[in-house]
Each structure stands twice: as structure tokens, then as C-alpha cells.
Amino acid sequence: MKNFKNVIFLILFSIGFIASIGAQKFMVHFDIKNYENDTLIVGNYFGEKQIVRDTLFAQGKGKFIWREDEMPPVGVYLILFKPANTYAQFLVDGKEDKFSMSCNVSDLNNIKFKGSDENAIFYGYIGFLGEKRIQADTLRARIDRALIRKDVDKKSSDELENLDKEVKSHQKDILVKKPNSMTAMLIKSNIDVEVPEFEGNPDSVKYKRYYYYKKHYFDNIPMEHPALIRTPFIHPKIDYFVNKVSNQEPDSLIKTVDFVLQKLEPNPEAYRYYLADLLNKYAAMKLVGQDAIYVHLVDEYYKKGKASWINEENLQKMSDNADDLRPILIGKKIPDITTYQEDGTPVRLWDIQSPYTVVIFWAPDCGHCKKIMPDVVKFYDNNKSKGVKMLGICTKPGEKTPTCWPAIKEKGMTDFINTADEHGRFNSKIRVRATPKIFILDKDKNILIKDIPGEDLDRIFNEILTFEEKKRIAKE
């Protein structure tokens, strides 16, 4: 009976063991020479970041196994070596579910794979590039030395040109022979779009080339590819397009982010990442006027249900924030508010007659207000003869409102139109979250610019005058 029980136990153990092996849908063996640490980090690229996927513990010196019950998402992965934080990359293509990777942590230029044609292609290409890079660096050094001698090294220049052709030929060979490989996708995505020749005068050709390049910037990148978000190139590519290729005016940036998100829409994971990334970027409002892009993203994407993952509470917060910003975007007519002078005389903003009105919200106990106020006063002294009027609005409400008036004298603001509102009613139309907050308005009370540093007020105002004068002359 005892033997019968043992047989049953062995059968059950075997069944359980086989089932556990069968459940392992993905497995990679790592054999790392000269690696003393007992921990290996597996990670992957994810947009701008590298995130940890798993922490592996040694199964013997330098031997690690990464197991997953499901095939990991396709992309470029890394193993991170401690404590030096050096790393090696490898590809997960969604098809090869069991392979091995071996390397020497002291020489990461020689990495071998078994059971992975994808990684063999990838590292064959990397090795080829490394060899050609050494040759190119040598040739460039020769060319630079010749330039120092005020000479021309034509031989080295020709060799460098031929080397470039050789690299392009090798890339084309992979694209033709292995078109469905991830390596081909990575190569093609990093080939810049070719701009055709255009006819016309120099300025016309310049603009045609620019608009062609911008329109076709993403042509070589398969934006729908599921590996896209887990590659090291996509974030630099999008970042360069948004911040360097595109005009940084708010209206142009709105078209740019729409263009990028439209390209990413067939790729849910990348679309979600970059919609959130762009929203956070423009929520920070590091440049004047970028709050318009934030409002646009909230209005056209989040509030219209194009970000289904967002919960109601966060959506409400974003909507409220956008509602506060929308009335005071650059180019809009500032909301009409009424504040009160010390004697109770009401001052309606829209009633101030002036070619330019500068509005500054400030507080007596605001340290930054104290710092910049001498520059603001100097600006007004320098420009009041040009028709500038300055409206100062002290933001202290209730029992603190009386502290505004002596502070006006202390800060030298007596020539301003100085007001306050003990009930803070202006906040229902112009939400003032922090002071100082500065607006420059034209004669119709349209917002020309806002949120500028007080110390730059004079320079920026005179740039506006110059710009307005150029517009006037152009119309004539």
C-alpha cells in the first residue's frame, strides 16, 4: 500500500511538473561571463523611459533564466548589470519563445545567441556598424587634421563617402531580405526621409523643402507597429518633431500634436502614452502660451472620450483646469472685471482707455512680487509716455485687503491704477493661482502676452511695439 501511494505521488508530481513547464510560454537563458553579482535586471524601453520588467536571481555563477507565462510585448529589451549599470540589448519579436544569450560583461561587443534568428540579425547589424564606425572615425580624424593644415584630404573624403554607401547598401540588403524582421523595422525607422529637389527662388525652395520634410517626417516609421513604444528611437523622433521641426507658436503646436496623435491612433499603447505625455508637458507651461495646447488636448481628446482610461475624478480636475485657462489664453479678449480703489471707486478693466494696458496681480506678502516690482515700476516710468496704463490688482481678500494700500507706497507703485476686491470676485473670471501674474493687453483688451517675468517686461513690451510697427508698415 505504501508503494502504491508513492507511485500516485510520483505520478501527480510528474503531472504537476510537466504542467508547470508547459505553462512557461517564454524563456530566455542568460550566460554572463565574469559577472559576480547574483542579480540581473531585465527591462525594456517605454517611450522616454526604461522600465524594469523582472529581477532575476542567479541559478549558478553568471547563469540566469527569465520566464514568463505569456509572451512579453514585442520590443527592445535590456539586461542591466550591477553595480556598474552597464547593459546589453536584445529583441523580443513575439514569435521566438525560447532562446539563450551569452556574453562577457567585460566585453559587451561580442554577444551570442542560440535559438533566435531575430537577435542574430540584430547583432550582426550592430557588429557591422561598430566596425564601420571605427573606420569612419579614423577617416574623419584625417580630414580634420588636413583642415588644421589648411589642406584637403580628398582620398579620405572619398573613402568616407564610399563607407557611407556601403552602410546604406547593407541596410538595404536587410530591408530586402528580412523585411518582416524587427531589425528591418528599426533600420527603416531611423532612415531620414529623402526630400526631393524643388524649383523656384531660394526662399520658395527653402519653404517647399521644409513643408515636404514636415509632412513626410514619419513616412519611414511604422507608427502602428506594436513594438514602437518599446524602442529607443521613437521618443527622440517625436520630441525632435514637436520641439525642433515644428513652429513653437501655440496654433502651430496644436496642429503638430494633432498630427502626431493621428499617426499614433492605430497603435493604442503608443497613443495612450503620448496623449498623456503631451498633456503633462503642456500642463507644465514652461513656455508662454503653451497652456493653449493643454486646453486643446483636454477639450478635443479627454472631454470627447478619446482617453477612455481616465477616471471621472481626474477628468473633472482636468476639465476645471482647462475651464480656468480658456478665457485667458493669448489672443482672447480678457474677461471684464471690476476692482476697487482704496476709496471704493470702482475700476472696470474694459473702461480703461489706452493703446496698451498692463495688468499685474500681486500680493503684499509675495516674495517674488517684492523682487520684481522695482523692474515693473521702472518699466512703467519708461513707457507711460507711449500710452501705457498700469492696473495693479492686489489679490488679498477679506480682512487682509487693508494690507494692500500701505504696501503700494512701500513698493513705489503709487502711479499705477491701484485696486483690490475684498470679495475676490475677479477670481470667478480670471483665476489667479499664484502671484505675480502679468498681462499685456492691446487697446481692445485682447491678450498680447501673459505670465512674463517682471524683469523682462520692458524688453518684451518693446518687442511687441516693434512687431506691431512692422505689421502696420506691411499693410501700407
Please return the burial class of 52, using the count of CB atoms within 10 Å of its CB with bins 0-12, 13-18 and 19+.
Answer: exposed
- For residue 258, what is its C-alpha cell? 494633432
Give me the sheet containing 39-46, strands edge to edge. 49-57, 39-46, 75-81, 86-92
Max Cα-Cα span within the chain: 111
Tell me the CATH number of domain 25-115, given options 1.10.3720.10, 2.40.50.100, 3.40.50.450, 2.60.40.180.
2.60.40.180
Phi, psi of 330 (to 5 degrees): -60, 135
Angle between helices 117-148 and 182-189 (to 10 degrees): 30
Q: Can you name the CATH fold of 338-475? A: Glutaredoxin (3.40.30)
Using alpha carbons, list the distances in angstroms from residue 428 to 252, 323, 337, 431.
30, 11, 9, 6
Is the backbone peptide bond immediately before 222 cis, with ω within 30 degrees of 0? no
Q: What is the pLDDT along the chain (476 residues), one digit of tens a residue?
A: 444 344 433 433 444 444 444 445 899 999 999 999 999 999 999 999 999 999 999 999 999 999 999 999 999 999 999 999 999 999 999 999 999 999 999 999 889 999 999 999 999 999 999 999 999 999 999 999 999 998 998 999 999 999 999 999 999 999 999 999 999 999 999 999 999 999 999 999 999 999 999 999 999 999 999 999 999 999 999 999 999 999 999 999 999 999 999 999 999 999 999 999 999 999 987 778 899 999 999 999 999 999 999 999 999 999 999 999 999 999 999 999 999 999 999 999 999 999 999 999 999 999 999 999 999 999 999 999 999 999 999 999 999 999 999 999 999 999 999 999 999 999 999 999 999 999 999 999 999 999 999 999 999 999 988 888 777 777 76
Phi, psi of 255 (to 5 degrees): -65, -35
Burial 429-451 (b: 16+ CB within 10 A, else e): ebebeebbbbbbbeeebebbbbb
Is the backbone peptide bond immediately before 266 cis, with ω within 30 degrees of 0? no
Rounded Cα distance, 441 and 419, in Å? 18
CB 354 within 8 A of CB 389: yes
Structure letter (DSSP) for residue 425: G
Q: Where are the domains of the chain?
A: 25-115, 122-189, 202-328, 338-475
pLDDT number for residue 13: 41
Rounded Cα distance, 312 and 327, in Å? 23
Which positions ≥6 away from 452 have C-beta within 8 Å? 288, 438, 440, 460
Residue type at 368?
H
CB 373 within 8 A of CB 413: yes
pTM reported for the whole predicted model: 0.85
**Nearest residue to 220 via CA among 245, 270, 184, 262:** 184
pLDDT number for residue 270: 97
Using alpha carbons, list the distances in angstroms from residue 50 to 41, 42, 47, 137, 285.
11, 10, 8, 29, 25
